[in-house]
Chains A and B, each alone.
Chain A
């Protein structure tokens, strides 16, 4: 569960208000999509949830642990997939996974089993011993997804996870998100692609210029739309009128 309460953040000494009094609650067992056009403030909010940025105002709790008050426990609760997968290029895939397992204190037995299982699932077993530098964009994305899942986190946070993945991997990832939610855990992801949100989410929030302009289930959003207006038009309209 993620509880976001009246969170704001501005850049450049207040000139750019990237996130403006956002309040959201993401429940256990659901996939929550965070939808918005480029520059809407999605990454900024995710950075605050994960402790990368400090919020100017408001509080964020992950499974009841405040990210500012109790950061280490809060950080233990989630696995994070950042939007830029270009990290640790001078480590091999397996070194990276082992590093993450150490940091998240995954026991030896679980670690071997999970790394093996996830590598196979993402068809990364062959590349694991190579430097991440030698991976393609999608492969980098996959190794990071695996790293984020090693400790079987109760909350899974992903920033634009589908970009750069081929249809097959994208499908696998969506399936894993579904499984994760069905196991009673929380999945929170951002996207600017409407179809992804539409197909995958139990609930979603639409954000534009730092403000949440809609939050609810797909049915609710459809009801919100006029009779035969497509979801796409609604999205366009909502984000334009602001």
Chain B
């Protein structure tokens, strides 16, 4: 256990970049202030969302209290956090367990699988607590205060908070470790790692599908009656995604009874069992998934005449540079999972819950009424464009496009391809991926909702323009301060503030334009025109800036 703690300490210092020694050192304080500043900006950016969430919870409490169902807001929070922990967990685990810079180097130390996996698991857990805080704290507080809960409730709530992420994170860890073990069997390691990552995500989605499908139909009258008469009916319905969350919900609303304690112990037992299982899997399989994961195949095969002939065709320099960018994006597991996948995954994840509900013929979907009015269509349009803008900002393809080159940046400087064209090639890669994500999302929305062709056309048209300023802004951010000094591709992405900045910028830009649309514009056509104009103007300005300042910046940056 000693080595576990030692390792944990080192990993935490590495991961969060904190070391007391450095904080005490006057000279080194600046980066910490910078980090603190960034943290505050992020809090400011998400504060409105949290406020809205809290408001909804309070309203929900008041609405449900007469029915004796107010406990549902607790379950809502717990289920929401479990899902978030689970989805984030998959990305954290893939990235931090397998792609991290030090993943390989730890192999040489005399540590066993569960120690290393356990230490990494704990670091991810700390991260997950931070992500869980804004979603879990409000319902716990609101329920506790509004129901005048006893001291025991607060105790259970604190214990519960610590327990909640354990199970979903374990559920994210186990399949990942299993799949990565087998992904490592083959010699096409990079490809398999990517496929392995995809498979884990597919399983995650499948799991959710399974649990939501197996429940009763929400529109069944008998079920509805049950739901409203049983004190924990609504709670049971919501906890179907993560069945064990029910126990915590019950423990909290029955905190003053013995039953509550039993429920809490049940929840704790299940959570700890899941962790034990995850660590056991790690002990057996983690190292096997890591060993030699940087080996590659070498076929050493002679090129055929046909190979040479194909080669002869060639591409114009800009396109060739673009093709190189795309190859690296798709072939580097870290980049693929974090940008390409994120971009294509968001539309899928967003629409799945609605698919599961099924397009029941007899019950109207909530949005059908909305869509029949012009103002409803306008809001829908603004929302979809907002999601597309956010997706493009968070895939960070341009916001890391200089950083990703790292030490190889000098190549861009000596090849006879103008910086203008290099910038264009980088924009093109991001643009194509952005457009694919947008088209995917629009298709998904179309499948769910009966939209007119004209609305679809407008959505597609606007999104093609809307993503342009976002990717341009990303490139400007990265050009301003690229992270070129890294040893492992992971660092170019995961420890790069430019990614965060690009996301925040997308939120601001998308948010501002959408706010204006929802507030002042009432027909889809004028909304489309306004957005085309707004995003188009921003795109032109940023383009001009890139072609002047950006080109100059490329010249200045030392390779």
Interface string of B394-431 (1 = CB under 8 A from A): 00000000000001101101111110000000000000
A-B contact count (CB 8 A): 112
Per-residue contact bits, chain B 281-299, to A (CB 8 Å; 1 contact, 0 not):
0000000000000001111
Question: What range describes how many residues of B lie at the interface?
Answer: 35 or more
User: Are A75 and B416 in contact, with the CB atoms below 8 A?
Assistant: yes
Q: With A102-B314, A102-B317, A115-B308 given, is the CB distance from A134 to B298 under 8 Å?
A: yes
Task: Out of B332, B408, B558, name the residue touching A87 (CB < 8 Å).
Answer: B408
Taking CB atoms and an 8 Å cut-off, the chain A residues in 65-114 that contact chain B are 71-73, 75-76, 80, 82, 84, 86-88, 90-91, 94-95, 97-99, 101-106, 108-109, 111-112
Instruction: Check B312–A109 contact: CB distance below 8 A.
Output: yes
A130→B300 contact, CB < 8 A = yes
**Beta-carbon contact of A111 and B314 below 8 Å:** yes
Q: Known: A54-B558, A72-B416, A75-B415. Is A127-B300 also a contact (CB below 8 A)?
A: yes
Q: Which residues of B contact A84 (CB under 8 A)?
A: 407
Once the chains bind, are A94 and B307 in contact (CB under 8 Å)?
yes
CB distance from B299 to the nearest CB of A (A): 6
Q: How far is the CB of A97 from the nearest CB of chain B, in Å? A: 8
Contacts of A137 in B (CB 8 A): none
**Are the C-beta atoms of A88 and B414 separated by less than 8 Å?**
no
Contact with A along B306-323 (1 / 0, CB 8 A): 011101111111011101
Query: Is A223 an interface residue, CB under 8 A from the partner?
Result: no
Is A128 at the interface (CB under 8 A from chain B)? yes
- With A126-B300, A126-B301 known as contacts, the answer to whether A52 contacts B413 (CB < 8 A) is yes
Say whether B302 faces chain A, with CB atoms less than 8 Å apart: yes
Taking CB atoms, residues of chain A closer than 8 Å to B296 are 130-131, 133-134
Tell me the complex Cα distance, A103–B421, Å. 11
Contact A72 B418 (CB under 8 A): yes
Instruction: Contacts A72-B416, A90-B331 given; indicate if A47 touches B308 (C-beta within 8 A).
Output: no
Is the CB–CB distance between B311 and A88 below 8 Å? no
Q: How far is the CA of A129 from the CA of B485 in the complex (A)?
A: 30
Alpha-carbon separation in the docked complex, A193 to B415 (Å) = 28
Contact residues in B for A116 (Cβ distance below 8 Å):
308
**Size bracket, chain A contacts:** 35 or more
Say whether B300 contacts A47, CB under 8 Å: no
Note all chain B residues with C-beta closer than 8 A to A106: 314
What is the chain B residue whose CB lies nearest that of A80? B414
Complex Cα distance, B316 from A10, in Å, reads 37
Known: A47-B559, A52-B410, A52-B414. A130 touches B311 (CB 8 A): no
Considering the chains assembled together, what is the distance between the CA atoms of A90 and B297 in angstroms? 12
Chain B residues, CB < 8 A from A133 = 296
The answer to whether A164 has its CB under 8 Å from any CB of chain B is no
A29–B324 CA distance with the chains assembled, in angstroms: 35
B19 to chain A, nearest CB (A): 25
Chain A residues with CB below 8 A from B418, complex form: 72
B416 / chain A contacts, CB cutoff of 8 Å: 71-73, 75-76, 103-104
Chain B residues, CB < 8 A from A101:
314
Complex: A111 Cα to B314 Cα, angstroms: 9
B556 close to A (CB within 8 Å): yes
A129–B303 CB distance below 8 A:
yes
Residues of chain A within 8 A of B413, CB atoms compared? 50-52
Bound state CA distance, A91 and B330, in angstroms?
11
A139 to B: closest C-beta gap in Å: 10
Cβ of B328 < 8 Å from any Cβ of A? yes
User: Which residues of B, 535-559, contact A by the 8 Å Cβ criterion?
Assistant: 555-556, 558-559
B303 touches A94 (CB 8 A): yes
Cα A52 to Cα B548 with chains together (Å): 20
Q: Is the CB of A102 within 8 A of B414?
A: no
- Distance A47 CA – B410 CA, assembled complex (angstroms): 9
B24 interfacial by beta-carbon distance below 8 Å: no
- Most chain A C-beta atoms within 10 Å of own C-beta, residue among B303, B307, B316, B331: B303
| Chain A min CB distance to B494 (Å) | 18
Q: How far is the CB of B8 from chain A (nearest CB, A)?
A: 32
Q: Decide yes or no whether A53 CB sits under 8 A from chain B.
A: yes
Alpha-carbon distance A75/B410, docked complex (angstroms): 13
Question: A108 vs B311: C-alpha distance in the bound complex, in angstroms?
Answer: 8
Shortest beta-carbon distance, A98 to chain B, in Å? 5
**Looking at the complex, which one of A54, A97, A115, A130 makes contact with B297 (CB distance below 8 Å)?**
A130
CA distance A126 to B302 in the complex (A): 5
Contact status A54-B303, CB under 8 Å:
no
Apart from A52-B414, A103-B320, list 5 A-B contacts with CB within 8 A.
Answer: A47-B559, A53-B559, A88-B411, A91-B324, A111-B314
A selection of 9 A-B contacts at a CB cut-off of 8 Å is A52-B410, A53-B559, A76-B416, A91-B327, A91-B328, A94-B307, A102-B319, A111-B311, A130-B299
On B, residues with C-beta under 8 Å from A are: 190, 296-303, 307-309, 311-317, 319-321, 323-324, 327-328, 331-332, 407-408, 410-411, 413-418, 555-556, 558-559
In the complex, the 7 A-B pairs of residues with the closest C-beta atoms, listed nearest first: A102-B320, A75-B416, A52-B559, A134-B298, A108-B312, A50-B414, A52-B413
